[in-house]
């Protein structure tokens, strides 16, 4: 469920910005904040 939501957020972010650095920063932030979730 959590991973599914991250995929939805990721797809949303791609539509907003094609900037790969921004997407990577977004992912790194998620992983730092939720490393216990995985």
- Give the CB-side neighbour count of residue 5, counting CA atoms within 13 A: 5
Give the tens place of pLDDT for each residue, 1-25: 677 777 777 777 666 656 677 778 8
Q: What pTM did the predictor assign?
A: 0.36
Residue 18 confidence (pLDDT): 63
Residue 27 confidence (pLDDT): 83
Instruction: Give burial (CB, 10 Å; 0-12/13-18/19+) of 23.
Output: middle
Separation between Cα atoms, residue 33 and residue 16, nearest integer Å: 22
């Amino acid at each position: 469920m959590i991973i599914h939501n991250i995929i939805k957020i990721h797809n949303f972010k791609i539509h907003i910005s094609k900037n790969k650095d921004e997407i990577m920063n977004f992912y790194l932030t998620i992983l730092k904040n939720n490393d216990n979730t995985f």
